[in-house]
């Protein structure tokens, strides 16, 4: 399963709606983006969500349900509509097809049947994401040694991206034992990775976002488990599926991994579009990074997604040169972040990203440039409004 099929469920009847929700939850490849309790006036909302599949219960009010199918077909023709009814009436089926439905689900049904129908109807739909994605959707940030500043890079990278009003970003802490994302942002989360994983199958897209902690910068944050024993309960397969669902909800995910090469880290590396390895120009770090790259080369295509960022460049006199580092790693250096102890110290003391703690510094500008290199802005985002010919006189 490379992607998740996003489903909007519409049914005014509570018993029928509950049964349909259970049916959808029984199919691993389906995720309920939203549940609507009325057919009237919902075509606009469905077009806004732009799901892959819209399952509509017919039995509560067949006339309104058929009208909704016709409205969806007219306003959002790329959305696949699947009517569902306990009445296998040929006249009703014909009316549904004429309104714009492509198949008909007779209730009660089994998850395997729904899975086959959804896969058949939605497999070929291209460009179906409602979220605007420019650049990598998942960036995993890691380091081959402790203390290189990979968490600081992940936090400031995500916070810089979140400042763009057009592109929501979620920062996840995959250092399950000793993560520090919550401390860096001075947040006390209501939910953590472990608590969300226990119930994410029952959350639609709206409830999922409400369950996440949102930093004042606009960045969504999902920290590591509070109790260490909860980290052992996180199943890699559930984590993989959870990331697939998050891809349907967010245009950008930044993952701060651990330095211990845990199972969760390999899930992040496997699914990442870019693996950002943070290094410092000292022998120990470069040697360990070379070993990590050799490990990545054993997995098909993984090393091709690696970009290397030098942190604390210029921090000491005898640091290894960039050319020597590239020769050692057999890979180019993507970006450099200069040594800036005072801004980072201010950031740590305030529990705030550089965008708040030191917005006028050169190092913050470097993070903006790094963000822009990974996620290029569209002309409409970075183009300043043109002034009139006589604006200077007013």
The share of the chain scoring above pLDDT 90, in percent, equals: 63
* Sequence-ordered strand ranges (E) for 174-305: 213-214, 220-222, 252-256, 274-279
Q: Which of 44-48, 129-133, 169-173 has the lowest mean pLDDT?
A: 129-133
* Mean pLDDT calculated for residue range 157-185: 91
Task: Decide which of 234 and 315 is more confident.
Answer: 234
Tens of pLDDT, residues 287-334: 999 999 999 999 999 999 999 999 999 887 778 999 999 999 999 999
* DSSP label of 340: -
**Which pLDDT belongs to residue 3?**
66
Three-state DSSP at 175 gives coil
Residue 383, pLDDT > 90, answer: no
Kindly list the structural domains of the chain, giving each domain's residue range(s) and its CATH number in brackets, ordered by start: 5-122 (3.40.50.2300), 138-375 (3.40.50.300)
Q: End-to-end distance of the chain based on CA atoms, in angstroms?
A: 60
The share of the chain scoring above pLDDT 70, in percent, equals: 90
Contact 272, 305 (CB under 8 A): yes
* Confidence at 49, pLDDT banded by 50, 70, 90: confident
* Mean pLDDT calculated for residue range 258-275: 93
**Which pLDDT belongs to residue 202?**
67
Distance, C-alpha 192 to centroid of its chain: 16
* Mean pLDDT calculated for residue range 201-220: 82
Distance, C-alpha 363 to centroid of its chain: 26
* Confidence at 387, pLDDT banded by 50, 70, 90: very low
* Mean pLDDT calculated for residue range 107-121: 90
Mean pLDDT of the chain: 87
Q: Which of 35-44, 197-206, 285-294, 335-344 has the lowest mean pLDDT?
A: 197-206
Residue 130, pLDDT > 80, answer: no
């Amino acid at each position: 399963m490379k992607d998740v099929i996003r489903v909007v469920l519409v049914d005014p009847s509570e018993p029928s709606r509950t049964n349909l929700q259970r049916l959808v939850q029984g199919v691993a490849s389906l995720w309920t983006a939203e549940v609507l309790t009325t057919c009237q006036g919902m075509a606009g909302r469905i077009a806004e969500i732009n799901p892959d599949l819209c399952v509509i219960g017919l039995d509560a009010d067949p006339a309104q349900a058929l009208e909704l199918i016709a409205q969806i077909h007219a306003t959002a023709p790329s959305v696949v509509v699947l009517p569902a009814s306990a009445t296998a009436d040929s006249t009703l089926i014909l009316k549904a097809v004429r309104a714009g439905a492509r198949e008909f689900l007779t209730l009660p049904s089994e998850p395997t049947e729904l899975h086959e129908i959804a896969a058949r109807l939605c497999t070929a739909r291209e460009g179906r994401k409602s979220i605007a994605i420019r650049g990598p959707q998942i960036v995993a940030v890691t380091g081959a040694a402790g203390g290189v500043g990979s968490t600081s890079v992940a936090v400031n990278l995500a916070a810089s991206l979140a400042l763009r009003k057009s592109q929501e970003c979620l920062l996840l802490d995959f250092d399950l034992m000793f993560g520090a994302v919550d401390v860096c942002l001075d947040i006390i989360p209501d939910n953590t990775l472990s608590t969300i994983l226990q119930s994410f199958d029952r959350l639609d897209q709206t409830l999922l976002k409400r369950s996440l902690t949102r930093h004042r910068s606009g960045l969504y944050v999902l920290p590591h488990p509070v109790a260490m024993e909860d980290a052992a309960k996180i199943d890699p397969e559930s984590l993989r599926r959870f990331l697939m669902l998050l891809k349907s909800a967010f245009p950008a995910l930044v993952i701060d991994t651990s330095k211990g090469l845990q199972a969760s880290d390999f899930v992040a590396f496997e699914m990442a579009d870019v693996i950002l390895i943070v290094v410092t120009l000292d022998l120990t770090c470069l040697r360990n990074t070379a070993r990590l790259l050799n490990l990545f080369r054993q997995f098909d295509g993984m090393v091709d997604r690696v970009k290397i960022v030098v942190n604390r460049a210029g921090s000491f006199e005898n640091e290894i040169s960039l050319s020597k580092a590239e020769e050692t790693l057999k890979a180019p250096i993507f970006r450099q972040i200069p040594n800036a102890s005072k801004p980072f110290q201010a950031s740590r003391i305030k529990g705030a990203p550089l965008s708040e703690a030191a917005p006028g510094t050169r190092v913050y500008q470097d993070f903006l440039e790094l963000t822009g290199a990974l996620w290029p802005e569209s002309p409409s985002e970075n183009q300043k409004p043109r002034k009139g010919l006589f604006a200077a006189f007013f």
